[in-house]
Amino acid sequence: MRHPILVSLCVAGTIALSACDQSNKDEVERAFQDVNVVDETNLNDVMLSSADPNEAVAYFQRTLSEKPDRIDLMRGLGTSLVRAKRNTEAVAVWSTATEHKDATNEDRVELADALLRNNEWARADQVLDSIPPTYETFKRYRLEAMIADSNKEWNKSDSFYEIAVGLTTQPASVMNNWGYSKLSRGDFAGAERLFSDAVRQDPSLFTAKNNLVMARAAQGNYSVPVLPVTQAERAQLLYTLGLSAVKQGDTEIGKGLLRDAIDTHPQHFEDAARSLRALEANVAS
């Protein structure tokens, strides 16, 4: 009579062990899934920050084809396409991302950025208008300022640039853009001040240095200000000043600046030499 009881206990024990074994397997599988998510997140970050842009595009396209509902992969692909300067494709991906159930205002700003890079200014303006004014980020206002510039809405432009500068710890590039806006509308003194501020914020930003001497030349000041420049950069700035002087009718000053540029450059400065030859040939004829 004891055998049925013993068999029952053995069966119960086997079922319990089997359940424990399955439970352990489930836990292990979940643990590996968690590890895989961490590894994938790290890989996504690596692809975005250091990989070749086209390699990153291929990675995110492949991964997104396996998991098409993942908005983080859409974002990675959109960002990589922008880095690779494949702007038409970037617009398509960011458009899809903004329709995702987990889309944010940041995604809409990224779509507007891709649209501007793709020269779709009106559509970018519409996308930014759809974002609540309470959503305030550096990138949003930088884009707003660029669109205001394109529409020649100077008061809006200045306001947006000022807000953008206050929302970043690295304002050099936006100061440079703001300065170029001032330059394009004839406010040369204001442009010079902003370009100087941009160089002070980022001494490596050569575009701002070049724009600075253009703003000075527009005011009849053909001297290179005190700036942290290499010998080659100084030669390039002299070249810019020389061309600006010629454009404004100060031909002899321009020729002198071109000669200075040729003498200053550590190597042969073909562009400056060609410009000088053209000017001298024109005078001779």
Q: Does a structural domain hold residue 23?
A: no
Q: Are residues 158 and 214 in the same domain?
A: yes
- Continuous H helices in the chain: 2-49, 53-66, 71-83, 87-98, 105-117, 121-129, 138-150, 154-166, 172-184, 188-201, 206-218, 231-247, 251-264, 270-284
Q: Confidence class of residue 44 from pLDDT cuts 50, 70 and 90?
A: confident
d(CA 11, CA 8): 5
d(CA 124, CA 93): 15
Q: Are residues 158 and 189 in the same domain?
A: yes
pLDDT (tens digit per residue) in 195-214: 999 999 999 999 999 999 99
Averaged pLDDT for residues 183-193:
97
Q: Does a structural domain hold residue 129?
A: no
Q: Does a structural domain hold residue 126?
A: no
pTM beyond 0.75 = yes
Q: Are residues 233 and 206 in the same domain?
A: no
244: pLDDT strictly greater than 60: yes
d(CA 60, CA 94): 13
Q: Does a structural domain hold residue 125?
A: no
Give me the CATH number covering residue 190: 1.25.40.10
Q: Are residues 146 and 215 in the same domain?
A: yes
31: pLDDT strictly greater than 70: no
Full residue range of the structural domain in which residue 268 is found? 229-285
Q: Confidence class of residue 39 from pLDDT cuts 50, 70 and 90?
A: low
Q: Are residues 109 and 141 in the same domain?
A: no
Indicate the average pLDDT of the chain: 88
Residues in Cβ contact with 7 at an 8 Å cutoff, skipping those fewer than 6 apart: none
Q: Does a structural domain hold residue 262?
A: yes
251: pLDDT strictly greater than 60: yes
Domain-ending residue, one of 221, 249, 265: 221
81: pLDDT strictly greater than 90: yes
Averaged pLDDT for residues 76-98:
97
Residues in Cβ contact with 52 at an 8 Å cutoff, skipping those fewer than 6 apart: none
Find tokens 């020649």 and name the residue. Answer: 152
Q: Does a structural domain hold residue 21?
A: no
- Residue 41: the pLDDT is 61
Q: Does a structural domain hold residue 246?
A: yes
Q: Are residues 250 and 186 in the same domain?
A: no
Domain-ending residue, one of 72, 95, 120: 120
Q: Are residues 155 and 209 in the same domain?
A: yes
Q: Does a structural domain hold residue 201?
A: yes
Contacts 24+ apart (CB under 8 A), 21-28: none
* Strands in the chain per DSSP E: none
Residue 102: other Cβ atoms inside 10 A: 11
